[in-house]
Amino acid sequence: MSAGGAPLVAIVGRPNVGKSTLFNRLVGARRAIVEDRPGVTRDRLYGVADWTGRHFAVVDTAGLGPADDVDLPRQVEEQVAVAIAEADLVVYVVDARAGLSGIDYELAARLRASAKPVLVAANKADGPRIEAQAHVAAELGLGDAFAVSAAHGRGVGALCDAICERLPVVEAPPDLGGEGLRIAFVGRPNAGKSTLVNTLVREPRVVVDDRPGTTHDAVDLPFTFRGRPMVLVDTAGLRRRRQVARAMEKIAAIKSIRAIERSDVVVLVVDAAEGVTDQDQRIATMAFERGKGVVVALHKWDRVRPDGRRAAAVTRATERALAFLERPRIVKTSVVGPGRARGAGRGRNLETLLEACQITYGALTRRVRTADLNRELEAAVAELAPPAHRNRRVKLLYATQAETSPPLVVVTANMGRCLSPAYERYLVRRFRKRWNLWGVPVRLVVRARGRGNRARARGS
């Protein structure tokens, strides 16, 4: 049993045989990036399949064997080896149209040696002629092959029936640990996001390399920090729009943006040696406009720290460049020691980074008592009265917090939309300072008191 107490099925095979397409078909969603070129999948992706009331977990893996565009063979193989080791059943995918290759026979031998139960899926069997050819896959010595077309759903039902026959029955759907504070690590390519995530979970869970663009999919990693459940989300690096050329990069960028939207707090990972760039500012703005709390990780700080004067300059420049985030918590992080290239070294200030995420999430979800909010509003007006609007005196009557995540304060006045932008900023700054709402967007709405409100006010 794996993956939250449920049986786990690992999908393996050589590159470009349709593993990710089959994964998406089984879990019923486009979780994995699919492109007609090898080497797109590199990290392990988990999902849940539901077939006629039976539930099981599924893990998609990278292609094993030579591929023109895969330059990380050792780390990729390690990811696949882990998936096979923890799986209760392996679905070995081959290409029915292309036929068997030497790599297919080598991988079949490795699977036989693993002693794991294996089902062979001959994919891309889109018609009767190719379906007849698919039975050649029985030569792999792993039993009869299932002729399937993952793209069209052909034969997938029979494959699912066979999977369920070989797995133990579980009463509840698998829990893949998707609950808790969601923290998305975002930034430009090669800023060190995957290294940070691997070091936090203390496992080479996502592939790390010095070349940019290693991560393609957004990967959810369940995690517990001081007894609190979290989900750490590693994302693909976000390039400038004009630099995104291939369809795969466009899909990866969309998945990164969706990961931001599904998160509670965003960690903007900035290469400390390079400083904040225009693209970092765009990414931070994207997260802030979507109502997310933002924490800044000045990563690779070990490259800056020995130079005290430069370190102070980098800190000040970061604060200025990200001032629109309203004093976000800035944590100087690094991964040092043996294994740092894979995120297996020693992390510095990583606990501080998670503490900053918790504090920022607390500010994002803070609920302020109406009485306290009105006392602060009265003090703000007493110190600086609002300017007149259309030659009429502005009276701010009361305030209430309408929403959290992010905080939304509604101020009721004698007129609607009567405050200047400068005065609204003044009020928001007061609220931020009073309740430590730093690094989170605070929204303010001014509305006129309606007749119903006036009647209630007179009757109270």
Provide the pLDDT for residue 451: 42
Name which of 230, 239, 282, 291 is nearest 260 in CA terms. Answer: 291
d(CA 122, CA 147): 5
On whether both 186 and 328 belong to a single domain, the answer is: yes
Q: Which of 364, 393, 420 is the last residue of a domain?
A: 364
- Report if residue 171 sits inside a domain: no
Range 46-62 average pLDDT: 84
**How much of the chain exceeds pLDDT 90, in percent?**
40
Query: Which strand ranges, in their side-by-side order, compose the sheet holding 219-225?
Result: 219-225, 228-234, 181-187, 265-271, 293-299, 330-332
Residue at a domain's end among 132, 166, 200: 166
pLDDT given at position 49: 86
Q: Which range (69-78, 232-241, 357-366) has the least confidence?
A: 69-78
Q: What is the reported pLDDT for 239?
A: 56
Calculate ∠ Cα 13-16-21, nearest 5°: 85
Q: What is the DSSP letter of 136?
A: G
355 shares its domain with 402: no
Q: Is residue 216 part of a domain?
A: yes
Which pLDDT value is given to residue 418?
Answer: 93
- In b/e form, how buried is each residue of 53-66, taking b as 16+ CB within 10 angstroms? ebbbbbbbbbbbbe
Q: Confidence class of residue 163 from pLDDT cuts 50, 70 and 90? A: very high
Q: Are residues 279 and 381 in the same domain?
A: no
Among 185-199, 204-218, 414-428, where is mean pLDDT lowest? 204-218
The enclosing domain of 382 has a CATH number of 3.30.300.20
Classify residue 277 as exposed, middle or buried by CB count within 10 Å of its CB (0-12, 13-18, 19+).
middle
15 and 87 share one domain: yes
**Closest to 244 in 3D by CA, of 166, 303, 189:** 189
Which residue reads 């007129």 in tokens? 415
pLDDT tens digits, one per residue of 390-449: 999 999 999 999 999 999 999 999 998 899 999 999 999 999 999 999 999 999 999 998
Do residues 46 and 257 make contact, with C-beta atoms less than 8 angstroms apart? Answer: no
How far, in Å, CA of 67 to CA of 70, rounded? 5
d(Cα 231, Cα 225) in Å, to the nearest integer? Answer: 10
Q: Which residue has the higher pLDDT, 313 or 344?
A: 313
- 3-state secondary structure at position 343: coil
pLDDT of residue 401: 96
- Core vs surface per residue 215-233: b (16+ CB within 10 A) or e: bbbbbbbbbebeeeebbbb
The H or E element containing residue 7 is none
* 77 falls within a domain: yes
Which pLDDT value is given to residue 253? 59
Contacts of 21 (CB under 8 A, 6+ apart): 34, 123, 150, 151
Calculate the dihedral angle through the C-alpha atoms of 40, 43, 49, 54, rounding to the nearest 10 degrees: 140
Cis peptide before 406 (omega within 30 of 0): yes
Q: Are residues 348 and 231 part of one domain? A: yes
- Asked if residue 155 and residue 264 are part of one domain, the reply reads no
Is 109 a member of any domain? yes
Q: Report the Cα–Cα distance between both ends of the chain, in Å, rounded.
A: 62
174 falls in which pLDDT band (50, 70, 90)? low
Between the alpha carbon of residue 192 and those of residues 38, 224, 382, the distances in Å are: 24, 21, 48
Q: Any residues with CB less than 8 A from the CB of 240 and at least 6 apart, and which?
A: 279, 282
CA distance 419 to 359: 31
User: Does 385 fall in a domain?
Assistant: yes
Cβ neighbors of 396 (< 8 A, separation 6 or more) are 377, 381, 386, 411, 412, 413
pLDDT digits 0-9 by tens, 64-119? 765 444 444 455 676 677 778 888 999 999 988 888 888 889 888 888 888 889 99
**9-19 pLDDT tens trace:** 989 988 888 88
Same domain, 51 and 117: yes
Give the Cβ contact number of residue 196 at 10 Å.
26
Q: For residue 41, is pLDDT > 80?
A: no
Check: CB of residue 330 under 8 Å from CB of residue 315: yes
Are 268 and 382 in a shared domain?
A: no
3-state helix, strand, coil in the chain (%, to 5): 40, 25, 40
Q: What is the mean pLDDT of residues 216-239?
A: 78
Residue 23 and residue 47 in contact, taking contact as beta carbons nearer than 8 Å: yes
Does residue 401 share a domain with residue 320? no
Number of domains in the chain: 3
Whether 353 has a pLDDT exceeding 90, the answer reads yes
Q: In whole numbers, what is the pLDDT of the chain averaged over residues?
A: 81
Q: Is 175 within the bounds of a domain? A: no
Contact (CB, 8 A) for 335 and 303: no
Which of 113-117, 337-341, 376-380 is predicted most confidently?
Answer: 376-380
Angstrom CA distances, 374 to 51, 242, 435, stand at: 55, 48, 13
Q: What are 451's two structure tokens? A: 């007749």
The confidence band for 2, taking pLDDT boundaries of 50, 70 and 90, is very low
Residue 289 CB coordination number (10 Å)? 9
Q: Give me the domain span that covers residue 123.
A: 8-166
Residues 62 and 129 in one domain: yes
CATH number of the domain to which 213 belongs: 3.40.50.300
Same structural domain, 374 and 358? no
Do residue 37 and residue 111 come from a single domain?
yes
Residue 44 is assigned to a structural domain of this protein: yes
| Residue ending a domain, choose from 166, 198, 230 | 166
What is the value of pTM for the model shown?
0.67
With respect to residue 172, please indicate whether it lies within any of the assigned structural domains. no
